[in-house]
Amino acid sequence: MQINTFANKRMKILYMLSFMSGGVAQVWAANETNMTLANMSTFNTLEGLLTFIEKTFRDLDRERMACTQLHALKMTPGMTAEEYMANFKMLARWTGFNEAALEDAYVQRLPQYILLKVYSQTSLPSGMDNWKAVMGNLA
């Protein structure tokens, strides 16, 4: 459902609150939903609500979180090389890693069977662009 299909700001705010789940955010959203339904919300606009949510629930250390998520990222069975690269690139831009560190993190999380295929080639890729090209050819 599109947010613009709602007739008024109150319905838009309620719709957005319905997506907040898990932990403190879910409790806060339930309370804010009750306040909105009682016409006692402090938010006059959807933009005001979204600004508050961003300030309150964002990652306070985006770089550290991206590093943690990047190190946990693995190319799993069923994941395409394109999906892995897209996830990797999304996180990599926030890490502050240099090119060599990014290449190392990328290679370390590839499945063994792919590494065996790459290492059996006559020349090994060097740099992220070359790894991306090799991965695209293997897929």
Q: Spell out the per-residue pLDDT of the chain, length 139, in tens.
A: 565 677 788 888 899 899 988 888 899 999 999 999 999 988 888 899 999 988 888 777 888 988 999 999 999 888 888 899 899 999 999 899 999 999 999 998 888 988 898 888 878 888 888 888 888 777 6
Full-model pTM = 0.58
Amino acid sitting at position 38: A
Structure token digits, residue 74? 């693995």
Alpha carbon distance, N-terminus to C-terminus of the chain: 35
Rounding to the nearest 10 degrees, give the CA dihedral for residues 21, 4, 58, 34.
-50
